């Protein structure tokens, strides 16, 4: 039985149970005072909006250089992909793999994964509820790791700072990339995982 069927709403912040009052969709949590809704209001619409913005920015994030490494006045712009290729050429395959996963695989997987979740919730189909919740948890957990490249840029900019001899400068691609990561993280928080179970009562139901 779902809590919503028993007229009970779960506080989104402190998980306290609250009894639903007649004719009220939203109320204040008795414990922490947060606004409590049966499901996040307009969860699907907001998640779609954040996701589409992220998808558009995904293009400049991958095409524009994220930083320029200059030595003796000659600058060489680096995109995310060329950074990975450089690591492979240096022979550090494990690190290249970590950066590839965090900067290329994960953002792509997140965009596709959240879109799949939204579509399967809206169409009531495709994946089983258990598959979808595992995917959601994975997306929620992995999201922050894509910031890796931004922190690498920060460290390099600070430490490779020898004036004209050698320096590293951040470029616009880094802004686009950081924005994509932040937007997909927000999309994972606006998505209400309870929607996954709402239209699949038959699947894994214990009744």
Partner 1 sequence: MHDSSRSHDLGELSLDKLVACHECDLLMLKPELAPSERAECPRCGFELFSYQPHMLGRSLALVIAALLLYVPANFLPILQLRLLGQTTEDTVWSAVAALYESDLQGIAVVVFLCSMGIPLLKLLCQLVVLLSIRWDVGRGYGLLLYRIYHHLREWGMLEVYFMGILVSIVKLLSLADLAVGTGLACFICLLLVQVWLEITMSPHQVWEALSRGRAHASH
| Residue 173, both tokens | 């691609």
Shortest separation between residue 99's beta carbon and Zn ion, angstroms: 35
Distant-in-sequence, close-in-space partners of 124: CB < 8 Å, separation ≥ 6: 199, 200
Q: How far apart are CA 95 and CA 107, in angstroms?
A: 18
Question: For helices 148-159 and 93-100, what crossing angle results, to 10°?
Answer: 120
Q: Using the rule CB under 8 A, which residue among 55, 97, 98, 116 binds partner 1?
A: 98
| Residue 185, both tokens | 């993280």
Residue 104 binding partner per list partner 1, Zn ion, none, with a CB distance cut-off of 5 to 8 Å that depends on partner kind? none
Q: Using the rule CB under 8 A, which residue among 123, 159, 164, 202 binds partner 1?
A: 159
Q: Does 150 bind partner 1 (CB under 8 A)?
A: yes
Q: Using the rule CB under 8 A, which residue among 76, 108, 130, 131 binds partner 1?
A: 130
Q: Does 19 bind Zn ion (CB under 5 A)?
A: no
- Closer CB to partner 1, residue 55 or residue 171? 171
Q: Identify which range of 46-54, 55-63, 113-121, 185-193 contacts partner 1 by CB under 8 A.
A: 185-193
Q: Does 53 bind Zn ion (CB under 5 A)?
A: no
Q: Does 113 bind partner 1 (CB under 8 A)?
A: no
Give burial (CB, 10 Å; 0-12/13-18/19+) of 78.
Answer: buried
Number of Cβ within 10 Å of residue 29's Cβ equals 19
């Amino acid at each position: 039985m779902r809590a919503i069927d028993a007229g009970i709403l779960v506080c989104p912040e402190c998980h306290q149970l609250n009894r639903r009052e007649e004719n009220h969709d939203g109320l204040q949590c008795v414990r922490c005072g947060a606004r409590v809704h049966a499901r996040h209001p307009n969860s699907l619409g907001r998640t779609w909006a954040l996701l589409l913005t992220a998808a558009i920015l995904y293009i400049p994030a991958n095409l524009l250089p994220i930083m320029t490494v200059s030595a003796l006045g000659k600058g060489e712009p680096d995109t995310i992909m060329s950074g990975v290729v450089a690591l492979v050429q240096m022979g550090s395959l494990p690190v290249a793999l970590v950066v590839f996963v965090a900067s290329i695989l994960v953002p792509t997987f997140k965009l596709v994964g959240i879109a799949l979740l939204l579509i399967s919730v809206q169409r009531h189909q495709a994946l089983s509820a258990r598959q979808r919740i595992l995917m959601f948890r994975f997306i929620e957990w992995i999201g922050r790791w894509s910031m890796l490249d931004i922190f690498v840029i920060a460290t390099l900019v600070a430490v490779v700072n020898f004036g004209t001899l050698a320096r590293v400068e951040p470029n616009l691609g880094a802004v686009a990339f950081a924005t994509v990561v932040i937007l997909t993280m927000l999309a994972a928080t606006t998505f209400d995982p309870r929607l996954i179970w709402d239209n699949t009562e038959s699947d894994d139901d214990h009744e």
